[in-house]
Amino acid sequence: MRKPFIGILAFIIVLFTMPLGHAVMILIEKIFGLSGQFPGATVLGIIGAVLLWIGARNKDETPATWYGLFGGLLLWTGWVEFSFVWSAQHLGIAPLLENGEIVTKPEYLLMPSSMGLLLACMLYFLFNGQTRCHFFSWVQRKLKLNIPRIPTGKQRNFAIITAMETIFILWFFYLVLLLIYDNSLLGDRHPVTYVVFASSLIWSLYLFIRLIKFRKIAAAVRYAIPTVIIFWNAVEILGRWDFFKEIWVEPLEYALEMGIILIAFIVVTVLTILTPKEQKTV
C-alpha cells in the first residue's frame, strides 16, 4: 500500500508477462498447428482489441491501464508477431541455423524489415508537443527541438496510452536485439552486444530505482513496462549466450515451471488490482 511495494509489485507483474507471452505464442503454434495457428492468433488479437475498447471507454485510470496492458500484449502476440510468422511462411524464408540448431526463427529474420516503419511512426512522438513520455521529452530537450507544449484539458485515454507504449517498446527492442544478433552486421558475441547487455542492466536499474518511488499503481504499471522490457534485453542476451535454459520457448516440456509462473502472475495481479488508490505520485 506504500512505496516501495507499489513499484515492486508493478515490476513483478509486468516481468511475468514476458515469459508468459513467449509461451502463449509457442502454445498456439504447437496446439493449433500450421493450419490453425493463424485463426487462433487472429482470435487472440481480437480479444486484445476488445480489451482495448473496454479500457478506452473506462474513465478510471487504474482499470484502463490494466485493460491497455493486457490488450496491448495480446495485440502484439496475436496480430503483430503472427503476421510476421505468416509472411515468413508465405515467402518461404528458412530459419537461421548454427551447428544444426535454429538460433533465429524465420519471422524474426523478417521483422527487421519493419525498421523504417517504426522510425517513421516514432516521429509522431518525437515531434508531439503533447507527449508526456519522459524519454521523448528528454530527447526533445537534449536535441533542442523547441517543440511548443500544447496544454490540453482533455481526459487522457490511459488504455490507448498503455497499449501503444507496450507495443512500440516491444517492437523497438525486438529490432535492437535482432540487428545486433545479425552476424552480417555485428553478431551475438560482438563487443556492441556486450555494451547493449551492460547498458540494459544499468538503464533498467536506474528506472527501477525511480519506479519504487511511485505511490499510484496505475502510473507504476505504465512506468514498469519500459523498465521490464529493457531489463528483459539482458535476459534475452543471456539466453542467446546459453547461460540458462529458456523454459518459456518450450512450455509443454516445462509445464510445471510455467504453471508456477502463471499462478504467481495471477496472485500478484490480484494483489495489485486490490491495492488501494493513492492520490499522489512521486
Tens of pLDDT, residue by residue over 242-258, are 888 888 888 889 989 89
Number of other residues whose CB lies within 10 A of the CB of residue 232: 20
Number of other residues whose CB lies within 10 A of the CB of residue 268: 19
More confident residue, 174 or 245: 174
How many whole angstroms separate alpha carbon 127 and alpha carbon 121? 11
- Residue identified by cell 527541438 is 145
How many whole angstroms separate alpha carbon 226 and alpha carbon 275? 22
Mean pLDDT score, 131-135 = 78
Tens-digit pLDDT profile for residues 38-91: 999 999 999 999 999 999 988 888 889 999 999 999 999 999 999 999 999 999
- For residue 269 the three cell numbers come to 495481479
Tens-digit pLDDT profile for residues 159-168: 999 999 999 9
